[in-house]
Amino acid sequence: MGRGRLEAFSDGVLAIIITIMVLELRSPEGEGVWALLSMAPIFFSYVLSFVYVGIYWTNHHHLLQACRRVSSGVLWANLHLLFWLSLVPFATRWIGENHDAAVPTAVYGLNLLLAAVAYSILQQAIIRNDGQNSLLRKAIGRDLKGRLSLLLYALAVLAAFAAAWLAQAIYVLVALIWIIPDRRIEQALLEE
């Protein structure tokens, strides 16, 4: 299978995830500004999750551009990533409706953590598949940014039980770290 087919399938799944998230948004009960303001946590969780799916979409695109060959290991690693991302709408709705509760906040972070672990596994599957001269291996190096993200997610999951707002602030911080697509891969592709 070529990487174009893998990318097209993944793009379709991510588009469905975003569609499900927006369909989960309900109109406010009432007509006043206060009714709309009462939905702020739900809207914020949607925006944050939309940003996260967008981050995965852009970085996934670059990741697959660095992939020379698609193997069954790469396919399964990609499905693993899509599985965790497919749970984002569930976690988004739960944290949105219970924004100050520890368990929904921790589950949201656990979902982000497991998606990040799956992304790391996909990276390693591509590197293993492409061999010692892997363009991706050269591009990401020791992947300090990825490892920092995993650590921050784990800390945020624990922090959710002390202060939900702190965990949510960490989720925003990690999104800000990744908001610009991973330039290491772009640069490696240009140098090739």
pLDDT digits (tens, 9 = 90+) for 138-157: 888 888 889 999 999 999 99
pLDDT band at 160 (very low <50, low <70, confident <90, very high): very high
Q: How far is residue 79 from each of residues 65, 85, 151, 176, 192, measured CA to CA in Å?
A: 17, 10, 23, 25, 28
Taking the C-alpha atoms of residue 127 and residue 134, their distance in angstroms, rounded to an integer, is 6
- List the Cα angle 77/144/73 in 5-degree steps: 15
Overall pTM > 0.75: yes
Average pLDDT score over the chain: 92
DSSP symbol at 30: S
Torsion (CA) 29, 20, 81, 10 in degrees, nearest 10: -150
78 pLDDT exceeds 80? yes
What total number of domains does the chain contain?
1
Top mean-pLDDT range of 65-79, 123-137, 149-163: 149-163
Q: Supply the range of the domain harboring residue 24.
A: 3-191
Higher-pLDDT residue of 149 and 4 is 149
Q: Give the residue-averaged pLDDT of 35-54.
A: 92
> In a 10 Å sphere around its CB, with 0-12 CB exposed, 13-18 middle and 19+ buried, how is residue 186 labelled?
middle
**CB neighbour class for 22 (10 Å; exposed up to 12, middle 13-18, buried from 19):** exposed
- Please give the pLDDT value at position 183: 76
pLDDT score for 185 = 78
pLDDT value of position 79: 97
**Rounded Cα gap, residues 134 and 124, in angstroms:** 10
What angle do the packed helices 88-97 and 40-65 form, to 10 degrees?
A: 160
CA–CA separation, 124 vs 142, rounded Å?
12
Per-residue pLDDT band at 168 (split at 50, 70, 90): very high
Q: CA nearest 122: which of 46, 164, 61, 42?
A: 61
